[in-house]
Amino acid sequence: MNSFLPFTRPSIDEQTIAEVADVLRSGWLASGPKVKAFEAALSQYCGGRPVRSQTSATASLEHALLVCGVGAGDEVIVPAMSFVASANVVVRTGARPVFVDVDLHTRNIDLAQAEAAVSARTRAIMPVHLCGLPVDLERIYALAERHRLRVIEDAAQAMGSSYRGQRIGSFGDLVCFSFHPNKNITSIEGGAVVGGSPEEVHELELQRFHGQEKTAADAFETFFAGGKANLSDVAACVGLGQLRQLEAFNARRRELAARYFELWGEAAPLALPARGDAGHNWHMFAARLPLGEMRISRLEFIEAMAARGIGIGVHYPAMHLFSAYRALGYREGQFPNAERIGRETVTLPLFPAMSFADVERVVAAVNEVLRGVIR
């Protein structure tokens, strides 16, 4: 019998495990030399730009907003289709997330709607590279320049993606990555902000540790009531081990995604994701079910796949339909593409340790389940 195939799983090699053991034995577990080394390696990967790590991409996004001066009374344009952190961080600064719809096929922000949403209160726009497929950054930055907006790229899913031959994070305004266990590389939990002026980089350091700075061997100064989001050396050690494998991980993801497309061709019984180009890191393979033609629900499809030993994810519900955002006045029907994606999306297994036989197993199972339930 086949073992259970999850929709994702991190790959941690034995060398990294041994290096983590060395860190544990060193006695230096909090932010220390490994964090500095990880930030330096990330900086090199991103073309020498400044990098400041945090304990999550959520913290990274929130701190990026804060160093841009976003606060009470401001607005930030956010796509309605993303993980809810993209909106939550805006609310936590005191600002209002202004949702706009997304393209049904790419799932990325609709830039015409984004431009129409700009108001006198808009301070920033937060494009999300959903599933690792890069947003049209040329248009994003042109829009931002026209309206004098900051751009905070939610690149949580885009580690190793590139736009027109340039790595995401190697250019632009502030770019935020995630190293959660389901991302293309992990540091167990973690995130980073890439970019910023020297003053903003310094503020990012303060934001992640109580607004405090050591001014002498026996003296500290606290400039504001900051939080605590500094990465540990244990996490950074894992991140270093993962970063040296990133290109191989992403190359394998691209091969697996290509195999899905090859097996289904034009006969896929569900809507396959936008294929993109060689710059797509294939963080996730999120398709859409033909629910209007099916005699079962999405939940029943997920259960049928689980019965066949295959895990299915849901990424994501449309954010504006959560209670927290209905309370801000958002309602069903405002962003039909995001809502449709939220209803129909299913995330199929895709991670570097998979074999082509695993892909074939998923395709066969999907075909089998849907063949019996499509009207």
Backbone torsions φ then ψ of 16, nearest 5 degrees: -65, -40
Q: Are 191 and 57 in contact (CB under 8 A)?
A: yes
Q: Which helix (H) or strand (E) holds 233?
A: helix 233-243
Coil vs helix vs strand at 75: strand
DSSP 354-367: --HHHHHHHHHHHH
Which residue in this structure is represented by tokens 């006695």? Answer: 27
The Cα diameter of the chain in Å comes to: 74
Query: Which of helix, strand or coil describes residue 5?
Result: strand
Catalytic residue among 34, 36, 183, 228: 183
The answer to whether residues 151 and 159 touch, using CB atoms and an 8 Å cutoff, is no
Q: CA nearest 159: which of 77, 249, 225, 236?
A: 249
183 is catalytic: yes
DSSP state string for 108-169: SB-HHHHHHT--TTEEEE--B-GGG----HHHHHHHHHHHT-EEEEE-TT-TT-EETTEETT
CA 125 to chain centre: 16
What is the rounded distance in angstroms from the CA atom of residue 227 to the CA atom of residue 209?
6
SS3 of residue 251 by DSSP: helix
Contact assessment for residue 16 and residue 38, using Cβ atoms and an 8 Å cutoff: no
Number of Cβ atoms within 10 Å of the Cβ of 217? 5
- What six digits make up the tokens of 230? 């500094």
Cα 371 from Cα 375, distance rounded (Å)? 9
Query: CA–CA separation, 70 vs 88, rounded Å?
Result: 14
Residues tagged active-site: 183
